[in-house]
Chains A and B, each alone.
Chain A
Amino acid sequence: MSLVFSAIVAAVALLPLRVCADPNNLPYSNAAGAGFENKIAELVAHDLGRTLSYVWRPQRRGFVRETLNAGQCDVMMSVPANFGPAMPTLPYYASSYVFVWRRDRTPPIASLDDPRLRQWRIGIQITGNDYNNPPPAQALARRHLLNVRGFTVYGDYSQDEPQRAIVDAVARGDVDTAIVWGPLAGFYTRGQPALAIAPVSPPYDGPGLQFVFEIAMATRRADRVLHDALNVVIARRRADIHRILREYGVPMTAEPRTENRHHDS
Chain B
Amino acid sequence: MNTAMKGVARLVCVTAGVFAACGPNTRDKGGTGTKLENYSAVAPGAPDSVHLIAEVSAGDWRMPTGDYGGLRYSTLDKITPANVKDLRVLTTFSTGIPHGHEGQPLVFKNTMYVVTPFPNNLIAVDLTKPGGAVKWIYEPHPDNRAVGIACCDVVNRGATYAGGNIIYSLLDANVVAVDAETGKEAWRTRVGDINKGETLTAAPLAVKDKVIVGNSGGELGVRGYVVALDVKSGKELWRAYNTGPDSDVKIGASFKPFYQKDRGKDLGVSTWPPDQWKLGGSTVWGWITYDPETNLFFYGTGNPGVWNPDLRAGDNKWSCAIMARDADTGELKWAYQATAHDAWDYDEIMENVLVDMTYGGRMRKLLIHPGRTGFVYILDRETGELLSAELFEPTNWASSYDLKSGKPNEDPTKRTHFGTVTNNICPSSTGAKDVIPSAFSPRTGLLYIPAHNTCMNYEAIEANYIAGTPYLGADVKMFRGPGEYQGELVAWDVANNRKVWGVKESMLPVYSGVLATGSDLVFYGTMDGWFKALDARTGQELWKFHTSSGIVGNPVTYLGPDGKQYVVIYSGIGGWMGAVAFPEVSEDDSYAALGVVGAMKDIKKMTAAGSSVYVFGF
Contacts and interface: CB of A to CB of B under 8 A. Distances in A.
A249 B464 CA distance: 23
B419 interface: yes
Given A66-B584, A82-B463, A208-B460, A146 B468 contact: no
Among B220, B273, B462, the most chain A Cβ lie within 10 Å of the Cβ of B220
A150 B463 contact: no
A141 B221 contact: no
A141 B397 CA distance: 22
Interface in B21-71: none
A170 to B, nearest CB: 16
B301 to A, nearest CB: 15
B312 to A, nearest CB: 8
Interface of A: 22, 25, 27-29, 57-63, 65-66, 69-70, 78-80, 82-85, 121, 125-135, 137-138, 140-142, 146-150, 152-154, 156-159, 163, 181, 183-184, 206-210, 213, 215
Contacts of B592: 65
Given A146-B311, A152-B197, A157-B145, A84 B462 contact: yes
Interface of B: 145, 147-149, 151, 193-197, 219-221, 273-276, 278-279, 303, 306-308, 310-313, 345, 416, 418-419, 429, 458, 460-474, 476, 584-586, 588-592, 594-595
Contacts of B313: 146
Nearest to B458: A131
Given A80-B465, A85-B589, A126-B279, A137 B307 contact: yes
A163 B468 contact: yes
A28 B466 CA distance: 11
A69 B469 contact: no
B462 A156 contact: no
Given A60-B149, A137-B307, A209-B419, 18 more contacts: A25-B468, A28-B467, A58-B149, A62-B148, A65-B589, A84-B588, A128-B221, A129-B473, A135-B472, A141-B311, A146-B313, A150-B307, A152-B220, A156-B193, A163-B467, A208-B460, A209-B461, A215-B470
A215 B471 CA distance: 12
Contacts of A157: 145, 194-196
B611 to A, nearest CB: 18
B220 A128 contact: yes
B345 A130 contact: yes
B551 to A, nearest CB: 23
A138 B470 contact: no
Contact of B429 (A82, A130, A146, A209): A130
B148 A127 contact: no
B468 A60 contact: no
B419 A207 contact: yes
Contacts of A156: 193, 195-196
Among B471, B586, B589, the most chain A Cβ lie within 10 Å of the Cβ of B471
Contact of A135 (B219, B221, B471): B471
A131 B476 contact: yes
Nearest to A29: B468
Contact of B197 (A69, A128, A141): A128
Contacts, number: 191
A156 B303 CA distance: 22
B464 A80 contact: yes
A65 to B, nearest CB: 5
19 contacts: A25-B467, A59-B468, A62-B147, A66-B148, A69-B586, A80-B465, A128-B219, A128-B221, A129-B151, A131-B458, A134-B469, A134-B471, A138-B310, A138-B311, A138-B472, A153-B467, A157-B145, A206-B419, A208-B472
B463 A152 contact: no
B151 A210 contact: no
A6 to B, nearest CB: 32
B464 to A, nearest CB: 7
Among A62, A69, A215, the most chain B Cβ lie within 10 Å of the Cβ of A62
A184 B468 contact: yes
A83 B469 CA distance: 12
- Nearest 9 Cβ contacts at the A-B interface: A60-B148, A141-B310, A146-B273, A28-B468, A132-B473, A141-B311, A157-B195, A213-B470, A158-B195
B473 A83 contact: no
Contacts of A148: 273, 276, 311
B577 to A, nearest CB: 14
B530 to A, nearest CB: 29
Contacts of B308: 131, 133, 137-138, 141
Among A66, A153, A154, A163, the most chain B Cβ lie within 10 Å of the Cβ of A154
Nearest to B590: A84
Contacts of A208: 419, 460-461, 472
B419 A129 contact: no
A181 B473 CA distance: 16
A213 B311 contact: no
A131 B196 CA distance: 20
Nearest to B342: A130
B151 A150 contact: no
B425 to A, nearest CB: 12
Contacts of A84: 462, 588-591
B219 A129 contact: yes
Contact of B463 (A63, A133, A213): A213
